[in-house]
Chain A
């Protein structure tokens, strides 16, 4: 009985606090400038241009198919074991072509911090891991370009990420793509940039001074509409647009190479065509690859158990996981 009393005590207190915070946040929403106002400010200040994407027709899709179809690359990380550094990481990158007869490209790497000569701290290792995954994905992307010869190659995440994390591979990707005239596009699900607010800070209400781009753009575009950012403002060497590709009011981000800027409208159209209307805005194609590359935990555990051996798993598994539910 005592436990329950405690529970209600806490929840009363918590309720109040949540209420307060929620009210403050609601205030934030109420201070949001009107949709038209934001659009005007963006256009008048030469940040970008609102354009409308169209769904591709069947003949346009056929043309893409004739030129090699589309390809996509995505990666995943799973870990087995316990508390850092007592664990294994499995990195995987998958390249898939819309041409069924082409075999998929699946690269994997297994790492463990225990194998390092000098132990590094967790944050540092995580960063290394991230870089490793980007490299693996870039490697898969390079192979995809070479083997699949697609018309369009979609990558998961911003192209800048590859440029930074996997510089060598990225240069190679870029060269091959430009040589073979393959359009490369990065699809960004979670936009973390704050370009717009940094450019028009003085024109925004104070609470929005540091808003992320997605917050500024939330709900101000119609479905199929995209904001193409003017060159030079952002991500050197790339063209970027933010797009509302489905009913979800939160936009996604799309990067293409500066050299392929004339394809911006084409890529927008393709992304819009391949994105289910009721979805969160990511092209189905990228979701398919994402689903394939991810390893579900029970499967992972099975693999680990059979290859590492039960005894070794026992060493890795933390006590807390043996806790009764």
Chain B
């Protein structure tokens, strides 16, 4: 390998006849005057001077090239490999053309590749194309995990990519961007696994019900995460404590069911009293509803009726007072609030609290919060605010020297579909708290891991606070330009984004000061629903056909003239099956096509029989 052509003090070209270059490889250039200089391959070319670019040119005749090969002269071997190499640090003078270049030894580039100890960081995967350099790496860093290579999991041969946990103090938040199928979910899973391995208290919002870590992906020596995480269903395991709600929280909750009208919102603000329990609030709503339905006149009339039971009199009086007090609230608004409140109630959300999550966090576990997306969003607002407040109160108390604040650990908040929780351009209940954590979470040790396939739709303030960005394959143009604005990805790297293989990603982090191409390690656990829906369809239809075949088998042979009888027999023997003649004929024909039955001719017409 040699430096060729025009050089600058930040970029050179390196050519080699024998060795092919790979993107993002580190190359050491031995400049005779300036000593060793490290660079990274930013573009690769290979060219063959005998097979020029132009198709109309002299040489493009495959037959001739083939004939020459036959004679022993293979033009392919005349290939020259060229790499554009960006220097890590600018040199004082341009590199000397002709300088030798080589693959560096591990110790020569260690500080560029490894930041932090493997025990103290998240080991997310391998740095791409570092196999050669990794040969000279310390044994304790070798083969730490598995990577997927052409469909099968193999032990890594590269240099590990370690995201130092200590660095979170300085660069607290992580963004994960990438389209569907890009490996984004795997990336999220790997981060969660690493957090569990380090016993970092974490909470993940799981709208897709996929964050289960108890199924092993089949790798040898995989850790058991069964006791490192806990799943919580909103409304079943956890919920909100109604009495702890503020009017704002309640509004968010209600509007999550269906957006509230202006009138409804103000009605809630008027009707909700601090310290209300679910019962006190809901009965107030119900009573007001009833009162408004009856109307003042009717209520007065009822109250003037003789011989009314005391309890009834009480009730009418109460209703009368209520409509007096809230006379300006229209009935439809109250009704709207009423059904929203009921829907929330039936989801079970008010029957539980968040203590299980608090306990899990204190135990250093990962809490997986699951629920339908409409509920998850509001609930997230509630739970994140509560947890964040607990941590903030503890830390602030500590700072002020106050004792007696209950200890609450630092924690990581993660979510996929982050653009739903902190959307750009419009308001969402959870946006406020996520923005707050993004901006000042660092101070309190609350960190975000936000994944989205649409970085463009994510709130800009939040995006700007994501210091470390892991970028998987992205196809949309506007997402790519957002990514380019928000990271130090070069335009060459951005051009590669649509073509990144699944599981490959660029990591842009101030910790490394440059973009690193990595391959995410293969997770130890797998998502519970990884079965392809089309496999499922095929399986299902095969199952059905087998069932029909068994039913029909008993009636064989079936003559075309006795179809009706056969259909009746089958239906009568199997109460669940209702078969009429045409359907039976279709199934028979289908089975003939599949070769399970055959159709034969006889003097009595054609008949179906076993093949």
Q: Which residue of the partner chain A has the closest CB to B5? A: A298
Complex CA gap A100/B50 in Å reads 16
What's the interface size class on B, roughly?
Answer: 20 to 34
Partner of A98, one of B59, B64, B71: B71
Are the CB atoms of B72 and A65 closer together than 8 Å? yes
Closest Cβ of chain B to A143, distance in Å, is 18
Complex contacts, B500 vs chain A, CB 8 Å = none
Are the CB atoms of B61 and A276 closer together than 8 Å? yes
Complex contacts, B67 vs chain A, CB 8 Å = 55-56, 61, 273-274
Q: Mark A104-124, 1 if CB is under 8 A from B, else 0.
A: 000000000000000000000
Are the CB atoms of A69 and B71 closer together than 8 Å? yes
Complex CA gap A76/B151 in Å reads 53
Complex CA gap A64/B64 in Å reads 15
Closest Cβ of chain A to B54, distance in Å, is 10
Report if A70-B71 is in contact (Cβ < 8 Å); known contacts: A288-B50, A291-B49: yes
Complex CA gap A69/B69 in Å reads 11
Q: Is the CB of A258 closer than 8 A to any CB of chain B?
A: no
Complex contacts, A278 vs chain B, CB 8 Å = 56-58, 60-61
Are the CB atoms of B70 and A58 closer together than 8 Å? yes
Partner of A61, one of B50, B56, B58, B71: B71
Complex CA gap A257/B58 in Å reads 29
Are the CB atoms of A100 and B72 closer together than 8 Å? yes
Q: Is the CB of B93 closer than 8 A to any CB of chain A?
A: no
Closest Cβ of chain B to A245, distance in Å, is 11
Complex contacts, A65 vs chain B, CB 8 Å = 70-72
Secondary structure at chain B's binding surface: helix, strand, loop or mixed? loop
Complex contacts, B65 vs chain A, CB 8 Å = 284
Q: Mark B63-79, 1 if CB is under 8 A from A, else 0.
A: 11101101111110110
Complex CA gap A99/B72 in Å reads 5
Complex contacts, B57 vs chain A, CB 8 Å = 278
Closest Cβ of chain A to B7, distance in Å, is 13
Are the CB atoms of B58 and A98 closer together than 8 Å? no
Most buried by B among A56, A276, A277: A276
Complex contacts, B64 vs chain A, CB 8 Å = 273-277, 284
In residues 262-288 of chain A, which contact B (Cβ within 8 Å)?
A: 273-280, 282, 284-285, 287-288
Are the CB atoms of A100 and B77 closer together than 8 Å? yes
Complex CA gap A276/B61 in Å reads 5
Are the CB atoms of A285 and B68 closer together than 8 Å? yes
Are the CB atoms of B74 and A62 closer together than 8 Å? no
Complex contacts, B70 vs chain A, CB 8 Å = 58, 61-62, 65
Complex contacts, A62 vs chain B, CB 8 Å = 70
Complex contacts, A284 vs chain B, CB 8 Å = 50, 58-59, 61, 64-65, 68
Q: List 13 A-B contacts (CB under 8 A).
A: A61-B70, A69-B71, A69-B73, A98-B73, A275-B64, A276-B59, A277-B63, A278-B56, A279-B58, A284-B50, A284-B58, A287-B50, A288-B50
Residues of B participating in the A interface, judged by any CB pair closer than 8 Å = 49-50, 56-61, 63-65, 67-68, 70-75, 77-78
Q: What 7 pairs across the A-B complex have the smallest Cβ distances? A: A276-B61, A279-B58, A98-B73, A61-B70, A98-B71, A98-B72, A276-B64
